[in-house]
Amino acid sequence: MAITVGTSNLQPNLSNGSVGVKVAQLAKEQQQAEGEIALQLIEAVDSAPSAGPVGNSGHNINTTA
């Protein structure tokens, strides 16, 4: 008893190149979305008010330790 598997059904049809173009488009869209999120995070940090130091805690550094 012999079993043969035809390899023609296992290979994807990449001859027209449309799969590669679609993958490139999806990658570009993903990079743009990640870039927009990064810019939103940077803008959120820049617009947050920073509190000044309170008292003298942390102003003196012990260099002899």
| pTM for this predicted structure | 0.47
* Most confidently modeled range among 5-9, 35-39, 48-52: 35-39
Q: How many CB atoms lie within 10 A of CB 52?
A: 4
pLDDT at residue 32 in the model: 96
Check if the beta carbon of residue 47 is closer than 8 Å to that of residue 40.
no
Q: Which two tokens stand for residue 58?
A: 């942390």
More confident residue, 62 or 36: 36
